[in-house]
Amino acid sequence: MSTRTNHPIPTAAASDWEIATHQDKELVKALGLTSATMLVIGSMIGSGIYIVSAEISREVNSPALLIGAWLVTGFLTIVGALSYGELAAMMPRAGGQYVYLRESLGPLWGFLYGWTLFLVIQTGTIAAVGVAFGKFLGIFFPSISSSHWILHFWKVPPIHVGQMVLGNMDVGLNTQNLVAILVVVALSVINIFGIKTGAFIQNIFTFAKTSALLALVILGLFIGRNAQAIAANFSDFWRNAGLSAQHTVQVGVGGPISLVGTLTILAVAQVGSLFSADAWNNVTFTAGEVKNPSRNLPLSLALGTGIVIALYVAANVIYLNVLPLDGSPNGATIMERGIKYATEDRVATAVMTQMFGSMGGSLMAVAIMLSTFGCCNGLILAGARVYYAMAKDRLFFREVARLHPTYKTPALSLMIQMVWTCVLCLSGTYGQLLDYIIFAVLVFYIMTIFGLFVLRRTHPDAERPYRAVGYPVLPAIYILMALFIDVVLLRYKPQYTWPGLIIVLLGIPVYYLWSRHSRDAAAGTSG
């Protein structure tokens, strides 16, 4: 058995397995188990849990299936995290998932992940979460609004391409995305001043927002129980939940209505719940800065995902305890609108308002601001480590591989990530981009867990301080379930799938161009 990875270009990473899996000595090991777990939790909890249950409810039309959708997401997330734990313990390198794909399936697949992460996944999520912060800040300061323009460049008209709608957005600087840009710039600069500084901010805001979500659950359990909602939701909890039940789903945007089964509608509903639970893998990006990574990375993944999923499921049970699932979009009261038609889909805000009046809505806005701010920090901190790892492989701008001479952080990587995120904030495209990439994100998860099987075969004697729980059964079930969800999304939600697939595929020619340039540069240097 050869222990050499077949990289197409001569790089520092293009060496034997020991070097490929060796810890990054130049980075500061400052993240303990608590900070690593806080990074997992903080990257996962954004604004999704407070919003997406309205859309899921409209799709599944069943209290049982609303909870079922989150349980499916929870199973996939926790199994994924347990599987990634083995890879993280084997390869405690900055870059995380990029490194796992590079070493198991080859550098092209690692590059395509890093390319999509930079172009859309990480930066688009940071932009969207930053704008969500500005949106909820606008509740207290009405001048902060998406309609309050400082510089309005143009209105991009809607463009219909098959079942997709492109465009239909405003481009420019308004007070809402200005707040997002200021948050992104501030947190990016702060994270230059050492991993301990970024982790300190992460720990504070993660503790605050986890406490806020836990408070929502406790208040809803002991104060918010509503007899009308409980009767409406739990007297016929299993309605429309049988395997023989038929559900309607619209194919694409403005497409035909199709009848589908329960398993298919649960797969369709994963767009919202999986996105809300995503980014748990971000802690692997910072693996080079985690103390005792062989222990702390797998443990932080298991603890972090377990805590968040438990809170997510509990929050949805509380939603059903306080508000009826069904309602009318024209309802005059919160109860009449229900979960399905909560104003602007802000289910948690409706729940808190139902319990405490306008003060409850304000408290929820503060909780979501804490949540989005902390989420932004975690995503900014982690994402920069991937581009740093790519640059060391000469698959990104070479200068990005340099660390700050004093603080030993990937400062230039943080700045490049910041600039592109701010461009997305101005362009108004981040919302559409995020819709487009949930399919691609799931594809990369499937490939990475498949890589676990590959590495068990190609490197059976490699040191594995932790072995994936339930291997090979649980990882195999994950792959089958995720494949089923992706196939369903390809069929019924083409507006979410084909654009994301195109973004990934565009990275292939870029990879070969960058590889050739790197080979030529290396040849010139050696000559």
Q: What is the SS3 assignment for 96?
A: coil
| Mean pLDDT of the 246-269 span | 90
- Kindly report the average pLDDT of the chain as a whole number: 90
How far apart (Å, rounded) are the C-alpha atoms in residues 418 and 185? Answer: 6
Distance between CA 62 and CA 66 in Å, rounded? 6
More confident residue, 82 or 498: 82
**Count of structural domains, the chain:** 1
Residue 479 within any structural domain of the chain: yes
β-pair type (247-250, 164-174): unpaired
Q: Is the pLDDT of residue 439 over 90?
A: no
Distance of CA 239 to the CA centre of its chain: 31
Tokens 């939600």 identify what position?
Answer: 493
CB atoms within 10 A of CB 292: 15
Residues 339, 347 contacting (CB under 8 angstroms)? yes
3-state secondary structure (DSSP) of residue 296: helix
Query: Distances in Å between the alpha carbon of 175 and those of 30, 46, 138, 263, 332?
Result: 37, 21, 9, 43, 30
Q: Classify residue 231: in a domain, yes or no.
A: no
The residue-averaged pLDDT of 365-391 equals 95
* DSSP letter, residue 168: E
Instruction: Choose among 205, 206, 195, 210: nearest CA to 31.
Output: 195
Contact 342, 56 (CB under 8 A): no
Closest CA to 360 of 498, 215, 229: 215
- Domain containing 121 equals 17-217+241-315+377-521
Per mean pLDDT, which range of 96-105, 154-163, 226-235 is the poorest?
154-163
Return the pLDDT at 526: 53
pLDDT for res 174: 94
Position with higher pLDDT, 500 vs 286: 286
359 within some domain: no
pLDDT at 480 over 50: yes
How far is residue 233's CA from residue 219's CA, in Å, rounded to a whole number? Answer: 19
Tell me what the mean pLDDT of segment 460-483 comes to.
Answer: 96
Q: In what helix (H) or strand (E) does residue 152 lie, and over which residues does it extend?
A: strand 149-161
Nearest of 42, 50, 74, 97 to residue 441 by alpha carbon = 97
Residue 521 pLDDT more than 70?
no
Contact 394, 521 (CB under 8 A): yes
Q: Is the omega angle on the peptide bond into residue 472 within 30 degrees of 0, that is, cis?
A: yes
Query: What are the structure tokens assigned to 275, written together?
Result: 């996105």
Nearest to 469 by CA among 88, 83, 87, 90: 83
- Determine which of 176-190, 216-230, 252-266, 442-456 has the lowest per-residue pLDDT on average: 252-266
| 403 domain residue, yes or no | yes
Tokens of residue 271, six digits? 């767009």
- Is 67 within 8 Å of 363 (Cβ atoms)? no
Q: What angle do CA 167, 110, 27 make, to 5 degrees?
A: 110
pLDDT digits (tens, 9 = 90+) for 122-150: 999 999 999 999 999 998 999 999 889 99
Average of per-residue pLDDT across 332-361: 94
Q: Is residue 350 a part of any domain in this protein? A: no
- Closest alpha carbon to 323 in 354, 345, 280: 354
CA distance 185 to 13: 31
Q: How many helices (H) and strands (E) does the chain have?
A: 20, 4
Q: What is the per-residue burial (b if ≥16 Cβ within 10 Å, else e) of 65-97? A: bbbbbbbbbbebbbbbbbbbbbbbbbbbbbbbb
Residue 35 lies in a domain: yes
Return the CATH number at 479: 1.20.1740.10
Written as six digits, the tokens of 432 are 């559409």
CA distance to 386, 390, 429, 497, per residue, from 97 (Å):
8, 11, 25, 21
User: Could you give the 3-state DSSP secondary structure of residue 40?
Assistant: helix
Q: Is the pLDDT of residue 113 over 60?
A: yes
Of 44-48, 361-365, 471-475, 491-495, give the lowest mean pLDDT range.
491-495
The sign of the torsion formed by the CA atoms of 347, 148, 122, 514 equals: positive
> Alpha helix (H) ranges present in 138-222?
175-190, 195-222
- pLDDT class for 9, splitting at 50, 70, 90? very low
pLDDT class for 497, splitting at 50, 70, 90? confident
Lowest mean per-residue pLDDT among 165-169, 350-354, 501-505: 165-169
Kindly provide the b/e burial profile for residues 340-355, where b requires at least 16 CB atoms within 10 angstroms of the residue's own CB: bbbeebbbbbbbbbbb
Q: How many CA atoms lie within 13 A of 98 on its CB side?
A: 31
Higher pLDDT, 431 or 428: 428
Q: What is the pLDDT, as a whole number, of residue 155?
A: 83
173 half-sphere exposure, CB direction, 13 A CA radius: 8
> pLDDT tens digit string along 272-331?
999 899 999 999 999 999 999 999 999 999 999 999 999 999 999 999 999 999 999 999
Mean pLDDT of 137-164: 83
Calculated CA dihedral for residues 8, 14, 17, 22, nearest 10 degrees: -150
How crowded is residue 399: how many other Cβ atoms within 10 Å of its Cβ?
Answer: 10
pLDDT at 519: 74
Q: Residue 147: inside a domain, yes or no?
A: yes
3-class SS of residue 157: strand
Per DSSP, what are the bridge partners of residue 116?
A: none
Q: Tokens 């790519």 label which residue?
A: 390
**Is the per-residue pLDDT at 487 higher than 90?**
yes
Q: How far apart are CA 327 and CA 310, in angstroms?
A: 27
Q: Give residue-wise pLDDT tens across range 62-93.
A: 999 999 999 999 999 999 999 999 999 999 99
- Asked if residue 491 is part of any domain, the answer here is yes
Distant-in-sequence, close-in-space partners of 191: CB < 8 Å, separation ≥ 6:
197, 198, 377, 380, 381, 384, 409, 414
Per-residue confidence (pLDDT) for residue 427, from 0 to 100: 87
